[in-house]
Amino acid sequence: RYISTFRPSVKCEAEKNKAQWKTMGPAKVAVPSPKNFLQKHSKEPKLPARKKEQDRKKLPALSVPRRTDRPVMGIQSKNNFINTNAVAAITGLPKKPQPIYVDRRQGDKYLLETSGLVPKYIKKKEYGVTPKYVIQRNEEMKRAQKEYEDSILEHLKKRAMKRLSDEERRSLLQGLKKNWEELYREFQGLSVEIDTIPKKIYKEKLETQMKQLEHDIEVIEKHKVIYIANE
């Protein structure tokens, strides 16, 4: 039978390295005691214990005397408080009663000042005085109106426009009203029954002329400044 020449060396190494895995890691490990079990809140951080000296320093000042304090005895005052109070009551001004109002027959009283019935606003210094922002706004409006009129005058001078005076405007307005009254008199004189085509045409013509006159009168009364083109 064949026998390897390396058999003795292999057998020696196998006996030398037998069960090497049993010695991995520490050979002996301390087993925890069953008495040291995990308790509740044991992993929470714990604050250090307070010292008694710190607690005494941080005590708030008491507003009342302590139980061990003793009152100061033997102090007397020479002031006559009875006479002082009597003189103050005689020489003092009487208190004015608060103004009240009664809103029911049972006599329920309420303060008048907080009721809103006292006109406090008329006693203010600014009462009746035009506010500054209103004065400033009026001045700006006047300035803008003047600039607008100046620009229109320059524009009208370039285009040869004429501005109607107040007398011309008044006379024109009176003439338009007079024409409207004449047309209205003719309109009132129409027959009640309009059964022919000429009568119907004449009535429509009067209505159109009256509407046009009313529109012209309204425009002239609304605008105080009127410009017309020179012919």
DSSP codes joined into one string, 103-147: -STT--EEESGGGT-S-GGGGSTTTTPPPHHHHHHHHHHHHHHHH
> How high is the pLDDT of residue 24?
59
Q: What phi, psi does 163 have (nearest 5°)?
A: -100, 130
Higher pLDDT, 133 or 71: 133
DSSP lists the bridge partners of residue 110 as 101
Reported as a single tens digit per residue, the pLDDT across 190-208 is: 887 878 888 888 888 989 9
Residues 110/103, Cβ–Cβ less than 8 Å: yes
> How high is the pLDDT of residue 70?
84
> How high is the pLDDT of residue 53?
62
Higher pLDDT, 50 or 189: 189
Confidence band for 38, pLDDT divided at 50, 70 and 90: confident
Give the whole-angstrom CA distance, residue 80 versus residue 105.
48
Characterize the bridge pairing of strands 161-163 and 109-111.
Answer: unpaired
End-to-end Cα distance, the chain: 153
* Residues contacting residue 160 through CB under 8 Å, at least 6 positions apart: 229, 230
Higher pLDDT, 59 or 167: 167
Residue linked to tokens 């003189």: 87
Amino acid type, 48: P
User: Counting every residue, how long is the chain?
Assistant: 231
State the Cα angle at 213 between 208 and 219, rounded to 5°.
130
Calculate mean pLDDT across residues 136-140. Answer: 94
pTM, rounded to two decimals:
0.33
